[in-house]
A and B are shown apart, each in its own frame.
Chain A
Amino acid sequence: MKFAHFADVHIGSWRDPRLKDCSTQAFNKAIDLCISEKVDFVLIAGDLFNTSMPAIDGLKVVTRRFKELSDLSIPVYIIAGSHDFSPSGKTMIDVLEEAGLVKNVVKGSIVDNRLRLNFTVDKKTGAKITGMLGRRGMLERQFYESLDLSALENEPGFKIFMLHTALSEFKPKDLDKVDATPLSYLPKGFNYYAGGHVHYIFEKNEPGYGLITYPGALFPANFKEMEEFGHGGLYIVDEKSSKYVPITLFERIAFNIDCKGRKPKDVEQELLNKISSSQLQNAIVTLRLSGKLSEGKTSDIDFKRIFDLIYSKNAYFAMRNTNALESEEFEEIKIDADSIEEIEERIIKEHLGQIKIDNEEQLVKDLMKILNKEKLEGEKNADFEKRIVEEMREFVN
């Protein structure tokens, strides 16, 4: 028996046009690997799509590849995740299941007031697969609370439990704020626990349970993951071993600059020097700047110049994170106020004079007024965006 396990593909997640197709490309690579590795079946532990109703482009690719697997008699067992689950039941996973391309293993019955999950048996290998979907806000917790564990635990054979939730005991240290389910909610004695939802690579043979793995996202889903991993990946598992296989689309080159006590121009120059001396061909470049500048504003660092240099070296994509970058000129202001308008009023006053513009206060208020406008009933997003841009342009002119 040999199978592949991946999760959190998040097809359609990135908005930037250059990264938009990356999750689909990673998915393609993963399917290629499943075929070349001649796996008996594929497990997808939630969040194949970034929404329950994904865009047609990504859906077409997924459907075509699942059909290819189906033609090769490689079944796909899947659970819904917190992104592609829909309370209404209208999810694309159901459509794919109706078409016979995937098998959603989250099925059960109510026996003696408890939820008894059914096993889906893989015909070729006899592996018994079941699992629990993931929902936003850990709403699946009530399902776990009502699970009939003994029925699952007493089932003989090679058993796989798919889950789309973080486990309290195994959360990575930087995700302590993430909601999690205690391990004790899972049935014991399964051979394999196919995890999803938490984007980290984790593997542990837990006494009393079995092999628990999380492959993380198939393609990094945000700056932090891009910086930390630079790639996604999946597990290839057989009866004897498990192997994490990275799926790499681009080389990732990370620049991490400590700006504490430095001038914006010095930081900018250091970055330019480092970029100049690096090979960035077809790489994804991450820039992380942190610390408090000794003078000036963060906007004094000319990021346009830096990004131009990066792209002139044929990098595929560049992204920056300046969340932990502070400047002396923008200190946090603590205020007591009762209404949002009052807070806005006072914050505007606190910041007046930082930029040389006539009638600055009124300008800021008017800008906020325009940006605060809401979408009209029946107005399309594109029209809404156009209307706001036009109003802004008119105002600035």
Chain B
Amino acid sequence: MVKGQVVSGQFGEILVRQKSGEQIEIGELLFAESNNSHMILQVYDLVYGSQLTQQQLELISGMKLEENTDMEFMNAELRNYVLAKVKTLLTINDKGTHIPKQLPDFFSNVREVRKDDLGFITKPNDPLFLGKLRSGSHMIDIDVSLEGVKVLQHHILIAATTGRGKSNLVKSMLWNILDTDYCGILVLDPHDEYYGRNSFGLKNHSRRDKVVYYSKTPVTGGRSLKVNLKTIKPGHFNGAVNWSDAQTEALYAYYKKYGDEWIEAILLEKEIEHFMEGTTGVVRRRMMSLLDLYVRDGQIFSNGIFDTTSGFTTIKDIVNDLENTKVVVVDTSAFTGSSEILVGSLIVNEVFGRYKHHKLAGTLDKKPVISIVLEEAPRVLGKNVLEQGSNIFETIAREGRKFKIGLTAITQLPSLIPREILANMNTKIILGLEMGPERQAIIESASQDLSEDSRNIAALDKGEAIVTSNFSRFALPIKIPLFEESVKHPNQKPIQSYQKEYLGIQIV
């Protein structure tokens, strides 16, 4: 079905006249057929066109509004119409797909894109499913999956304002990742929304053995998040707490003197030379508050997740699970922001250390890529935060890809992240962003030219996104299916089927 015709313009700004009776939308994909090659076009703006001058149009409008004159245009569809501004996304010929370097033929017809036009979109061996291809507001039944290893390793940024479907996207990504075995994913979940504590979630996946859930208050099957104080080192606080120079020196002095019992030494006020009482006192108070500990009768007691008697292997267990391509969800909803970052820092440091070792040992190729899903990323990657000093998340953002570790950073405010870090995030999934500066930050660091797409981005409805990636040929418009509706609700294995396996239990 012809929707319009190429009438004028220039490269990057082609004008297509809309056929009367057809509706062209912003973001819509169009298909222009030529003799030698075809082109996929995308609409980025819509304007009115008319054969009449602006003055004439205004006069006609005045006569209708002010004098109730009953007027009809003769051959109205020839006189007034819509012009779509489109750009070329891809050229398709018998040799394959190419970045466009030509204009479509003058007066060539354009039609809506069809599924069979897009046979070049194939599923990679390590698929990272993002959603269905979208043309304007219409979903095309083509799965958009990128090469998971490359995409996760080179970081993902998910940018969106609240309510635009970030959580739905991440849930959907994680759910589909569970069907694969090429990556381990650590999710720091400040809203406890992915595992499905009280609703449908990852725990309902048929491969639920690949989902590991840590929480301060776990449901059956989840693990209590306990972190032993002995596993914490001074560097783990970077990014989580702003210590003064004197306080930082005190931390390292305690660590040097007392080894892995340094935090206990601080809390129990053990002797340390060359530090003012005020400094050590503040360090002690802040440490107790951050770690949710208290001291009574010379003994340390825990109210939270940091403990003296348990959690010796928690961090190692998590990293082992990640290496075994599991999705580890850490419910941080009960923590302060600093505690959440501290827990993240502990895990990510261990991952980084271990993968560095694998690289040195020459075994990194055999390891799965690990991605860390981080909400409100500017908390650790923001310009202000990084001015205070580096942290492990920044290190991962800059160097992680060399060690098969990537970030999946989520934010409403990408403009707070330094430009060079944004540029390192080679896949960006852009959901609706109303604020101009935020759109600008994303557009300027996108893998494809989105300079004309500001309006397109602003017009994204809930669940609609644009994916710009070094690993796709063009910026892909996608629609993310609603998680609860799209995923198959697998039947729970009926308990009766275990019956014959209740070996060793006397069933009476």
Q: Do A and B come from one complex?
A: yes
Q: Which 3 A-B pairs have the closest CB atoms?
A: A113-B495, A173-B312, A176-B313
Residues of A within 8 A of B222 (CB): 182, 184
With A143-B505, A182-B221, A182-B223 given, is the CB distance from A110 to B499 under 8 Å? Answer: yes
B508 touches A169 (CB 8 A): no
* Closest chain A CB from B427 CB (angstroms): 33
A182 touches B505 (CB 8 A): no
| Chain B, Cβ-Cβ closest to A104 | B506
With A115-B495, A146-B495, A184-B224 given, is the CB distance from A80 to B504 under 8 Å? Answer: yes
Residues of B within 8 A of A142 (CB): 498, 501
Is there a chain A Cβ closer than 8 Å to B196's Cβ?
no
| Chain A, Cβ-Cβ closest to B218 | A184
With A169-B224, A169-B311 given, is the CB distance from A89 to B504 under 8 Å? Answer: yes
- A182 to B317, alpha carbons, bound, how many Å? 12
* Closest chain A CB from B319 CB (angstroms): 9
Residues of B within 8 A of A386 (CB): none
With A108-B507, A110-B507, A135-B504 given, is the CB distance from A184 to B221 under 8 Å? Answer: yes
Could you say which of A113, A149, A169, A182 contacts B494, with CB atoms under 8 Å apart?
Answer: A113
A115 touches B309 (CB 8 A): no
Could you say which of A89, A118, A149, A169 contacts B310, with CB atoms under 8 Å apart?
Answer: A169
Taking beta carbons and an 8 Å cutoff, which residues of B are in contact with A? 218-224, 226, 228, 230, 309-314, 316-317, 320, 362, 494-496, 498-499, 501-508
Taking beta carbons and an 8 Å cutoff, which residues of A are in contact with B? 80, 85-87, 89, 104, 106-110, 113-115, 118, 133, 135, 142-143, 145-146, 149, 168-173, 175-177, 180, 182-185, 204, 334
Could you say which of A145, A171, A180, A182 contacts B218, with CB atoms under 8 Å apart?
Answer: A182
B498 touches A108 (CB 8 A): no
Residues of B within 8 A of A168 (CB): 223-224, 313-314, 317
With A110-B499, A145-B221, A146-B495 given, is the CB distance from A85 to B309 under 8 Å? Answer: no
| Chain A, Cβ-Cβ closest to B303 | A207
- A57 to B220, alpha carbons, bound, how many Å? 43
A185 touches B506 (CB 8 A): no
With A80-B504, A104-B506 given, is the CB distance from A185 to B221 under 8 Å? Answer: yes
With A108-B507, A143-B505 given, is the CB distance from A176 to B317 under 8 Å? Answer: yes
- A146 to B220, alpha carbons, bound, how many Å? 10
With A168-B223, A182-B224, A184-B220 given, is the CB distance from A110 to B496 under 8 Å? Answer: yes
Residues of B within 8 A of A172 (CB): 312-313
B496 touches A113 (CB 8 A): yes
* Closest chain A CB from B197 CB (angstroms): 12
| Chain B, Cβ-Cβ closest to A106 | B505
B224 touches A143 (CB 8 A): no
- A306 to B287, alpha carbons, bound, how many Å? 51
Q: Sample 12 A-B pairs with CB under 8 A, ordered by A number.
A: A104-B506, A142-B498, A142-B501, A143-B498, A168-B223, A168-B314, A171-B317, A173-B313, A175-B313, A183-B218, A184-B222, A334-B362
Residues of A within 8 A of B220 (CB): 149, 184-185
| Chain A, Cβ-Cβ closest to B503 | A87
Kindly count the residue-residue contacts between A and B in the assembled complex, taking CB atoms under 8 Å apart: 98
Residues of A within 8 A of B499 (CB): 110
Residues of B within 8 A of A80 (CB): 504
Residues of B within 8 A of A145 (CB): 221
A204 touches B310 (CB 8 A): yes
Residues of A within 8 A of B320 (CB): 176-177
A89 touches B503 (CB 8 A): yes
Given contacts A109-B507, A169-B314, A334-B362, could you give 10 more A-B pairs where the C-beta distance is less than 8 Å? A87-B503, A87-B504, A106-B504, A106-B506, A113-B496, A114-B495, A142-B498, A169-B223, A173-B312, A180-B317
* Closest chain A CB from B350 CB (angstroms): 11
* Closest chain A CB from B298 CB (angstroms): 18
* Closest chain B CB from A273 CB (angstroms): 30
A115 touches B502 (CB 8 A): yes
- A107 to B362, alpha carbons, bound, how many Å? 51
- A289 to B206, alpha carbons, bound, how many Å? 48
Q: Which of A85, A107, A171 has the most CB of B within 10 A?
A: A171
Residues of A within 8 A of B502 (CB): 115, 143
* Closest chain A CB from B329 CB (angstroms): 13
- A176 to B320, alpha carbons, bound, how many Å? 9
* Closest chain B CB from A331 CB (angstroms): 14
Residues of B within 8 A of A85 (CB): 504
| Chain B, Cβ-Cβ closest to A180 | B317
* Closest chain B CB from A295 CB (angstroms): 26
- A237 to B302, alpha carbons, bound, how many Å? 25
* Closest chain B CB from A215 CB (angstroms): 16
- A133 to B503, alpha carbons, bound, how many Å? 10
B498 touches A146 (CB 8 A): yes
- A178 to B499, alpha carbons, bound, how many Å? 27
* Closest chain B CB from A79 CB (angstroms): 9
* Closest chain A CB from B430 CB (angstroms): 38
- A168 to B309, alpha carbons, bound, how many Å? 13
- A149 to B309, alpha carbons, bound, how many Å? 26
* Closest chain B CB from A254 CB (angstroms): 21
Residues of B within 8 A of A173 (CB): 228, 230, 312-313, 316
Residues of B within 8 A of A184 (CB): 218-224
- A104 to B505, alpha carbons, bound, how many Å? 9
Q: Which of A133, A146, A149, A169 has the most CB of B within 10 A?
A: A169
Residues of B within 8 A of A185 (CB): 220-221
Residues of B within 8 A of A170 (CB): 309-310
- A118 to B507, alpha carbons, bound, how many Å? 9
- A355 to B405, alpha carbons, bound, how many Å? 46
Residues of A within 8 A of B224 (CB): 168-169, 182-184
With A108-B505, A109-B508, A182-B218 given, is the CB distance from A171 to B223 under 8 Å? Answer: no
* Closest chain A CB from B299 CB (angstroms): 13
- A110 to B506, alpha carbons, bound, how many Å? 11
- A169 to B223, alpha carbons, bound, how many Å? 7
* Closest chain A CB from B492 CB (angstroms): 10
* Closest chain B CB from A339 CB (angstroms): 20
- A226 to B496, alpha carbons, bound, how many Å? 44
- A85 to B495, alpha carbons, bound, how many Å? 22
Residues of A within 8 A of B226 (CB): 169
Residues of B within 8 A of A104 (CB): 506
| Chain B, Cβ-Cβ closest to A178 | B313
* Closest chain A CB from B277 CB (angstroms): 34
Residues of B within 8 A of A146 (CB): 495, 498
* Closest chain A CB from B334 CB (angstroms): 14
| Chain A, Cβ-Cβ closest to B219 | A184
* Closest chain A CB from B127 CB (angstroms): 29
* Closest chain B CB from A236 CB (angstroms): 21
A107 touches B505 (CB 8 A): yes
- A169 to B228, alpha carbons, bound, how many Å? 10
With A143-B502, A171-B313, A176-B316 given, is the CB distance from A108 to B508 under 8 Å? Answer: yes
Residues of A within 8 A of B309 (CB): 170, 204
- A171 to B310, alpha carbons, bound, how many Å? 7
* Closest chain B CB from A70 CB (angstroms): 20
Residues of B within 8 A of A87 (CB): 503-504
| Chain B, Cβ-Cβ closest to A134 | B504
Residues of B within 8 A of A86 (CB): 504
- A185 to B223, alpha carbons, bound, how many Å? 9
- A182 to B214, alpha carbons, bound, how many Å? 10
- A80 to B221, alpha carbons, bound, how many Å? 23
| Chain A, Cβ-Cβ closest to B319 | A176
Residues of A within 8 A of B496 (CB): 110, 113
Residues of A within 8 A of B504 (CB): 80, 85-87, 89, 106, 133, 135
| Chain B, Cβ-Cβ closest to A80 | B504
Residues of B within 8 A of A115 (CB): 495, 498, 502, 505
